[in-house]
Each structure stands twice: as C-alpha cells, then as structure tokens.
A and B are shown apart, each in its own frame.
With several copies, the nearest count.
Chain A
C-alpha cells in the first residue's frame, strides 16, 4: 500500500501531537545551548500547519507539504522556521502532483528536504545541527530503497539512523546556529534541532506502522 494524501495529513497531525508532547523537552535542550524556544516555536508552527490544512485536504501530497512549509515559515520564526519551512516546501516540490507516494517518492521528498535545509543554512555534517540527524536518515533510506526495500523498512532504518545522528550531536562542538557562540561549552548537550528532526522522521514511521503495511 502506498502512502496516500490521507496518510500525509495523518502524518502532519501526528507531528503536531508529538511536537506538542515534546515541547518542553525541546525547549529544555535549547535552554542548555540556545535560547529556550525551540519547542515553543515548533509547537506554534505545527499548530498553525493544522489550521492551514483544511483548505488543501483534497489536494495532492505536494500541495499539502508546500502548504505546511509555508505555514511553518510564517509562524515559527527563528532558525527553525526558515529551515523546516524550506524543507517541507522542497519536499512538496519533489512530489508535486502525486496522490500516492511509493518508497522512492518518500526518498525523493526527504532528499529534497535535506537539500533545502543545507541550501538555506549552509551547515556541514558535524556542525551540531539538524543536518546531523537528517543526513544519516536520508542515507539509510536511500540504501534500503535502492535495494528494493519497502517503505516501512526504509522508514525503520531511517529512524534508527536519525536517532543515532541525534545522539551523536552530544559530543559535538557546535559550529552553526546559536549554540556555536558557546564554543567548548556546547559539548555534552544534544542539539535541539537534531532532536526535532528525529521526531519528525520517527513520526513517518509511526504512520507507516499504523497502516499495518509492509
């Protein structure tokens, strides 16, 4: 069973729920090496996404994702807004016109999202940003998809990789974003953006698993 636009809508609802549940956690992480707003910002953003969805419920996956991206850009602010906003808009462009997404489409969307984040933020791997969670997830997914694996399998591997990438940010010294001002003091803390990225990828897995499909 491919991912349908209903699944995409479910996914955005799931993300909104998960971000809401992790609002304080993300903000705490941002307190340690940032300015204590990442959870608050992301939550405001995805609540706004939910509001905007009703007008595009019957549209293709690309339109839905682009709408979500625009909603994020105009409500999150900070670094997270342009980065995640661009990610969703680029993902939407990658699957423009489609109502059903196969594993290869998902991969294309995630690859486009990552490219968008890097284009906008210019972070390199190891800079202690969301890029450190998304990049390994995209790599893992690509490997599964290129070997003909299922969507579920691809998302499982991607989630594992994102989780590892997220945890790997702990010992890193930040070189981008607000945490970079802390220099050595940024070491030993998990990056909030990498954490939200993991949550966003894990939410895809939850949706896929919820469909009980292979």
Chain B
C-alpha cells in the first residue's frame, strides 16, 4: 500500500490535526467526538448547516466548512459513516438558535446514524431536519435496493444551501431548497482503478489493465458493470446519457414532520431533464485523475448537452467528492433556476471552494 500516511488508524486524526494547524482562521476542530466547524460559529439566528460522512472523500465535507457553506462537518473513519454523538455534538456547537439542517447522503449507515442524532437533538429541544441526497442514476430502482446513493449533488447542495442559510432562509425554507436541489440533480460515476482503504491495506477490487468499472459510488466499491476500457468521449457519453435520459425517479424517504412531531414517509419524484433546461455541469475527479483529463471530459459533456438541448449556465470542474486515490470521474447535472444561480454565485470561503471572499 503506497500512501503518504503514518499508521492507518491515525489517518483521520492526523488529517484533522493538520487541518487545524493549516486553517485556524477558517475552521476549528473538535476531537472525540470528531468534527470540523466554522471558526466563527455559532452564527446567531442562522440555521446550522451540517453534513458528514466517511472520510476519504476530501475535500468533502470538512473542506466545505466556512462562510457560505457548512457550519460543521462530521468525518467518520475512512468510508464509514460517522456516529450519532459526533453529529449531535457538532449541532450543539454551531446551533445559532434557528435549528439544524442535516444534509445526509443516502447510505444505510449515514441515514440511520443521522436519524439517531436528530432524535438525540430533539430530546434536547433543538429543531432539526434531515434531508437526503440520493442522486446516483446508476442505481435504477429504490424498491430492490437501498435507493440511489448520494454523490455529486451533495457538493452542490452544500454550496447552494450554505448561501441560502447565510441569506437568512429559515429551517423550513432551507429544507425545501435542499430537497429541490436533490430532486433536480443527477450523477453517475466510473473508475479506472480501485482505491485502498488504509486500514484494509489492499485494493478494494482488482481491475484488469484494460477494464473499468461503470456505475460506482464513492466508497471504492465496485460498480454495476465492468467493461473494457473506452476512449473518454465514449465514457462521457455513457455517463451523460444515463443522466440526461433518466426518467422520473420515485422513492419514499423519511423526513421529520414538525406538525405531527414524528418521522414521516415522504414520496419524492425527480423530474426528468427537458429540452431547454438550464443546468450546472459538474465534472468531478475521483481523486487520482489528474487535472489535465477533466477538461477533456467537459468538452464532450458540453457537446452532448448542446445536442440534447440543455444549456450549461454554470460549471464546476475538479476533485470535490472523491474516493481516496481512485482514478475515475463522475458527472453531475443540476437543473438551475434564478434562485439556484444566485445562490451558487454567492460568496463562499472554505478550504475546498472559494470565491468572492
């Protein structure tokens, strides 16, 4: 295993220590339980925006803590959902009195842990909502699976909701916005190589020199299909068409019903993309794919969107939601409207995403 680390068990702890030393003006770190939070938290009257998940996806989520984005991020061990106590402690630390929104990627572990955390917070009288991100079109149905995974749209939701929270959206409005981003965003990813979980010490899967995995998530897991390596234009087309031609996706998620004071099943439907839609195009490196290759993907994606009648009004290109050193990429398209564009353009100042500040 070739990594710039000391002991596998110390990776997350030492990463956090490094972040604390590197960005004291931006974030603070709390240890045991571990979380990263805004140096200026809590912000009175602002909804506290929190996300979290396994480590190994850097810069997500710790790299997205700061003005205009998250108030706190809870890093689990590599590829392992964090625990409810991390999430609850983080919430109490950044609570500005306007409630907490948990942005939760749809993985069984994340969902269960964030639900337990929300229950713990409510027991202490803090208002909290959990909104799921489940945007991975590689997962076709939700009846016979754990439902679509939360992938690239998470980054966009954190940026957009972060700007909205900064603007003063209340918990209800912010939850609605997050849900709107989620149902309008779709992603799909692929891998050229596996990655190595530090504590496991060997590649999660083996791929032949001429093979690739299509339909991967972000946890180094194998994808839905293994196929022969193809030129990037064909790969881009495969991912983009799966996204653009994806039909309405219906599933039931659990959200908190503030009226009834209980968890409620909510049916959500992702509307398909339509000719004339304005989109944000997000080309993401899985961590080991170098910058030189990403514009080549964007070039083809642009052509396909044009052909399909989608207008790219904003883009994001780089390594933002990764699987350690995996080579590969994912594509996310998010249907935009004036509200989303304005929020996307708003200032942001985090380790991983920064503009106008």
A interface residue numbers (CB < 8 A to B) = 27, 31-37, 40-41, 44, 73-83, 120-121, 173, 175-178, 180-183, 185
Determine which of B85, B108, B205 lies in contact with A177 in the assembled complex, contact meaning CB atoms within 8 Å.
Answer: B108
Q: Within 8 Å CB of B58, what residues of A?
A: none
- Whether the pair B113, A37 counts as a contact (CB closer than 8 A) is no
Number of interface residues of B (CB under 8 A): 36
Nearest CB in chain A: distance from B50 CB, A: 16
Q: Within 8 Å CB of A176, what residues of B?
A: 108, 146
- Whether the pair B84, A74 counts as a contact (CB closer than 8 A) is yes
Given contacts A44-B77, A181-B224, 16 further A-B contacts (CB under 8 A): A33-B221, A34-B219, A74-B33, A75-B83, A77-B109, A78-B80, A81-B81, A82-B112, A121-B108, A176-B146, A178-B146, A178-B217, A180-B144, A181-B217, A182-B222, A183-B145
Asked if B66 is at the interface (CB within 8 A of a chain A CB), the reply is no
Nearest CB in chain A: distance from B139 CB, A: 6
- Whether the pair A35, B83 counts as a contact (CB closer than 8 A) is no
Q: Within 8 Å CB of B205, what residues of A?
A: 31-32
Chain A residue with Cβ nearest B78? A37
Q: Within 8 Å CB of B79, what residues of A?
A: 35-37
Asked if B197 is at the interface (CB within 8 A of a chain A CB), the reply is yes
- Whether the pair A178, B76 counts as a contact (CB closer than 8 A) is no
Chain B residue with Cβ nearest A181? B139
Asked if B46 is at the interface (CB within 8 A of a chain A CB), the reply is no
List the 10 closest pairs (A to B, CB-CB), nearest first.
A35-B219, A82-B112, A78-B109, A180-B145, A79-B109, A77-B80, A79-B108, A78-B80, A40-B199, A36-B204
18 A-B interface contacts by CB (under 8 A): A32-B205, A36-B197, A36-B204, A37-B77, A37-B79, A44-B77, A76-B83, A77-B76, A77-B113, A78-B109, A81-B83, A82-B84, A121-B112, A176-B146, A178-B146, A178-B219, A178-B221, A182-B222
- Whether the pair B204, A35 counts as a contact (CB closer than 8 A) is yes
Asked if B200 is at the interface (CB within 8 A of a chain A CB), the reply is yes
Q: Within 8 Å CB of A36, what residues of B?
A: 79, 197, 200, 204, 220
Q: Which of A33, A36, A176 has most chain B Cβ within 10 Å?
A: A36
Instruction: Give Cα distance in the complex from A13 to B112, angstroms.
Output: 27
Asked if B99 is at the interface (CB within 8 A of a chain A CB), the reply is no
Known: A79-B81, A175-B144, A176-B146. A181 touches B221 (CB 8 A): yes
Asked if B116 is at the interface (CB within 8 A of a chain A CB), the reply is yes
Known: A35-B219, A37-B199, A73-B83. A183 touches B76 (CB 8 A): no
Nearest CB in chain B: distance from A33 CB, A: 8
Nearest CB in chain A: distance from B175 CB, A: 23
Nearest CB in chain A: distance from B323 CB, A: 9
Known: A74-B84, A77-B81. A35 touches B221 (CB 8 A): yes
- Whether the pair A31, B224 counts as a contact (CB closer than 8 A) is no
Determine which of A33, A83, A181 lies in contact with B146 in the assembled complex, contact meaning CB atoms within 8 Å.
Answer: A181
Nearest CB in chain B: distance from A25 CB, A: 12
- Whether the pair A177, B146 counts as a contact (CB closer than 8 A) is yes
Q: Within 8 Å CB of A178, what residues of B?
A: 107-108, 146, 217, 219, 221
Chain A residue with Cβ nearest B85? A74
B202-236 CB contacts (< 8 Å) to partner A: 204-205, 215, 217, 219-222, 224
Q: Within 8 Å CB of B162, what residues of A?
A: none
Q: Within 8 Å CB of A173, what residues of B?
A: 144
Instruction: Give Cα distance in the complex from A28 to B188, angstroms.
Output: 26
- Whether the pair A34, B77 counts as a contact (CB closer than 8 A) is no
Instruction: Give Cα distance in the complex from A37 to B204, angstroms.
Output: 10
Chain B residue with Cβ nearest A78? B109
Nearest CB in chain B: distance from A84 CB, A: 11
Determine which of A35, A182, A183, A185 lies in contact with B220 in the assembled complex, contact meaning CB atoms within 8 Å.
Answer: A35
Instruction: Give Cα distance in the complex from A13 to B86, angstroms.
Output: 26
- Whether the pair A41, B197 counts as a contact (CB closer than 8 A) is no
Kindly supply a per-residue 1/0 record for chain B positions 186-198, scoring 1 wherever the CB is within 8 Å of any chain A CB and 0 otherwise: 0000000000010
Instruction: Give Cα distance in the complex from A121 to B108, angstroms.
Output: 8
Nearest CB in chain A: distance from B108 CB, A: 4
- Whether the pair A40, B112 counts as a contact (CB closer than 8 A) is no
